Amino acid sequence: MIRPPARRPPATRPPSRTVVAAFAFAGYLALAFVARNVYPLSTFEMYAGAPPSRAPTRVIARDAAGGAHEVDEYVGWHCDAEIAGARQACLSEWPYAYTAYLDRAAADWVAAHPGAGAAGEPVEIVRRIYRLSDRGGAPQVRDCVLSRCRAERRR
């Protein structure tokens, strides 16, 4: 007796939702490898590139009494000169560490909130440098003036 050939069960396809999810995940992985940032397994290169420093810095506003303030606590800025960034402004204090995007954010805030020349109180924009000692204790604090300005406190 001759038997008919065995029938194969019809091929089943995965649900279309699964296919779309698989392609989306594969696309994400491809883009992540191209961008060299496979979140959450990131190296956070914006911080990893800077060598450790014994002299961190920050761009701040210093009022007439010497008080330190964030630059965005003021508006209506009128400055004698553009805020110099990076190390060219404070060469006498080099070496020190700085974070370029934070310095740029401070300069951008001042540029985006201009004011009249005579209005406001005297304010200096300074790079505050904290020199840390190997022996511990309080850091030595130095201010390097980046620009002399007038500005009004933000309400």
User: Which one has a higher pLDDT value, 116 or 22?
Assistant: 22
Residue 145: its pLDDT value, please?
92
pLDDT tens figures, 105-148: 999 999 999 987 677 899 999 999 999 988 888 999 999 999 99
Least confident span in 48-52, 79-83, 92-96, 113-117: 48-52
Average pLDDT, the chain: 84
- Whole-Å CA distances, 152 to 31, 60, 109: 46, 15, 13
CA dihedral 142, 144, 123, 81 (to 10 degrees): 180
User: Which one has a higher pLDDT value, 68 or 99?
Assistant: 68
SS3 for 108? helix
Q: Distance between CA atoms of 4 and 33, rounded to whole angstroms?
A: 52
Q: Is 83 exposed, middle or buried (0-12, 13-18, 19+ CB in 10 A)?
A: buried
Q: Distance between CA atoms of 27 and 152, rounded to whole angstroms?
A: 50
In the predicted model, what is the mean pLDDT of residues 32-61?
74
The owner of tokens 């000169």 is 81
Contact 69, 61 (CB under 8 A): yes
Contact 60, 68 (CB under 8 A): yes
**Taking 70 as the threshold, does the pLDDT of residue 24 lie above it?**
yes
Structural domain boundaries enclosing 40: 16-47
The total domain count for the chain is 2
Same domain, 103 and 136: yes
Same domain, 72 and 143: yes
**Taking 80 as the threshold, does the pLDDT of residue 23 lie above it?**
yes
Same domain, 59 and 41: no
Residue 107: its pLDDT value, please?
92
The owner of tokens 């002399």 is 148
Same domain, 80 and 26: no
- Band of pLDDT at residue 15, cut at 50, 70 and 90: confident
Strand arrangement of the beta sheet that strand 121-131 belongs to: 68-69, 57-63, 121-131, 140-153, 74-79
Q: Is 125 among the domain residues?
A: yes
Q: Is 32 among the domain residues?
A: yes
Residue 49: CA count within 13 A, CB half-sphere? 6
Same domain, 68 and 108: yes
Q: Is 5 among the domain residues?
A: no
Same domain, 42 and 79: no
